[in-house]
C-alpha cells in the first residue's frame, strides 16, 4: 500500500521548476495503479520520491506503512523498482546481474539461488541466464531488469514507463507478469504516458498534469466524470489541450 499526502518537489536554483505539486493518492495492495500523464508531468520525480532517491520539499508518503523520509532504507527493502534508468552490467551474465541485487538485499546462499532460479524460470530467461548481458535485445534487458527489481520479493513495485522501447510480444509478457504480481497481492504503481497501456492494465488511474493530480479513480469513474467516450478523450479533456501528449 502506498499513501501519498500533499507531496511536493521543485528543482532549480530558485525552485522555479515545480515538478510535483501537492499530490495525494492511495495505491492499495492487490491492485495496479496507473500514473498517467504527458512527458514532464512529474511521474518520474514522484516515483523517485517514493523510491527515496529524491527528498520531497513538502508532504509525506508511506510505502507499506513506512515513511519515505524517516525509514528510507526500510522502504528500500520493501520496494522493487524498475526505474527510468535500467542499465545492466554488460560484462556480467543475466544471472550474475540478478544475484548482485539479491545479495545487496541481504539474500544469501540457497535462498538467493532459489529466488534467482525461480525468477529466471517465470520470466523465461533460461536460455539467457548464463550469457553476458552485452548482446541482449531491449526486451531481454528489460526482463533481466525486472528480475533484478523483484529478486527480494518486494511488497510494493514501482515501474517507470516499463513498456518504453519494447515490442508487442515483450509488452504482453510484461503485462502477464504484472497481473501475476497483482494476483499475489502486491501493490503495483505503474507510470506511463500511453493511455492504452494504462487502460489495459490498471485498476485505478491517477492522471497527472504539470505536477498536479488532475483526476483519479477507476477508468469508468473517469469516463463518467468527464462524459467522454474513451479514456483518450477524457485525458485530453482533463488536460485542457492535446499539447504534450504522446499518441
Partner 1 sequence: MSVLRRIATIMVKEIRDTSRDRRTLVVALLTAVAAGPIFLVLIFNLIASQADRARELKLPQIGLSNAPALMSYLVRNQVTLSDAPDDYEAKIRAGDLDVVLVVDANFAADVAAGRQGIVRIVSDRSRDRAQSSIRQAESLLRNYNRLWGGQRLLLRGIAPTVGDPLNVEDVDLATPQQSGAIILFLVAFYGLLASVMGGMAISLDTTAGERERQSLEPLLITPARPEELVIGKWLAVCLFNAIVVAITLSGFYLTLTFAPLPAVGIPFLFSAREYGRFLVILVPVILLIPAILLYVGARARTYKEAQTNVSMLMFVVSMVPAVQLFLQQKEPAWLVFVPISGQYMLLRQALRGEAISIPNLAASYVVPALLICLALFAFSRLLARESILAGK
Q: Which residues bind partner 1 (CB under 8 A)?
A: 48, 51-55, 73, 76-77, 79, 81, 83-92, 96, 100-101, 103-106, 108, 132, 145, 148-149
Q: Are strands 17-27 and 31-36 parallel, antiparallel or unpaired?
A: unpaired
Smallest distance, partner 1 to C-beta of residue 106, A = 6
Smallest distance, partner 1 to C-beta of residue 148, A = 7
Nearer Cβ to partner 1 (3/132): 132
Nearer Cβ to partner 1 (27/63): 63
Smallest distance, partner 1 to C-beta of residue 51, A = 5
Smallest distance, partner 1 to C-beta of residue 229, A = 38
| Residues 57, 60, 62: CA angle, nearest 5 degrees | 140
Q: Cα-flanking dihedrals φ and ψ of residue 102, to 5°?
A: -60, -45
Smallest distance, partner 1 to C-beta of residue 196, A = 26
Nearer Cβ to partner 1 (83/216): 83
The dihedral sign for the CA sequence 87, 89, 95, 100:
negative
Smallest distance, partner 1 to C-beta of residue 231, A = 30
Nearer Cβ to partner 1 (32/81): 81
Nearer Cβ to partner 1 (80/234): 80
Residue 15's region, left for phi above 0, alpha for psi from -120 to 50, else beta, is: left
List C-alpha distances in Å: 163 to 22, 66, 132, 139: 27, 28, 23, 9
> In DSSP terms, which residues pair with 32 in a beta bridge?
188
**In the 8-state DSSP scheme, what is residue 158?**
E
Which helix or strand (DSSP H or E) is residue 143 part of? helix 138-150
Nearer Cβ to partner 1 (39/218): 39
Give the SS3 label for residue 233: helix
CA pair distance 78, 105, nearest whole angstrom: 10
Amino acid at each position: 500500500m502506498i499513501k501519498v499526502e500533499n507531496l511536493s518537489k521543485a528543482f532549480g536554483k530558485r525552485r522555479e521548476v515545480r515538478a510535483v505539486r501537492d499530490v495525494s493518492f492511495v495505491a492499495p495492495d492487490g491492485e495496479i495503479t496507473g500514473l498517467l500523464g504527458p512527458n514532464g508531468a512529474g511521474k518520474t520525480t514522484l516515483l523517485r520520491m517514493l523510491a527515496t532517491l529524491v527528498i520531497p520539499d513538502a508532504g509525506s508518503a508511506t510505502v507499506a506503512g513506512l515513511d519515505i523520509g524517516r525509514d528510507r532504507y526500510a522502504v528500500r527493502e520493501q520496494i522493487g523498482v524498475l526505474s527510468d534508468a535500467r542499465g545492466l552490467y554488460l560484462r556480467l551474465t543475466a544471472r550474475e546481474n540478478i544475484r548482485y541485487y539479491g545479495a545487496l538485499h541481504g539474500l544469501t546462499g540457497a535462498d538467493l539461488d532459489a529466488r534467482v532460479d525461480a525468477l529466471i524460470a517465470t520470466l523465461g530467461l533460461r536460455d539467457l541466464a548464463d550469457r553476458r548481458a552485452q548482446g541482449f535485445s531491449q526486451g531481454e534487458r528489460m526482463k533481466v531488469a525486472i528480475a533484478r527489481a523483484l529478486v527480494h520479493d518486494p511488497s510494493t513495485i514501482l515501474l517507470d514507463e516499463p513498456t518504453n522501447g519494447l515490442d508487442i510480444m515483450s509488452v504482453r509478457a510484461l503485462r502477464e507478469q504484472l497481473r501475476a504480481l497483482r494476483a499475489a497481492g502486491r501493490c503495483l504503481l505503474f507510470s506511463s504516458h500511453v493511455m492504452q497501456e494504462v487502460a489495459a492494465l490498471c485498476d485505478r488511474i491517477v492522471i497527472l498534469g504539470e505536477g498536479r493530480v488532475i483526476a483519479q479513480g477507476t477508468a469508468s469513474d473517469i469516463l463518467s466524470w468527464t462524459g467522454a467516450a474513451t479514456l483518450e478523450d477524457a485525458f485530453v479533456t482533463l488536460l485542457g489541450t492535446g499539447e504534450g501528449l504522446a499518441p
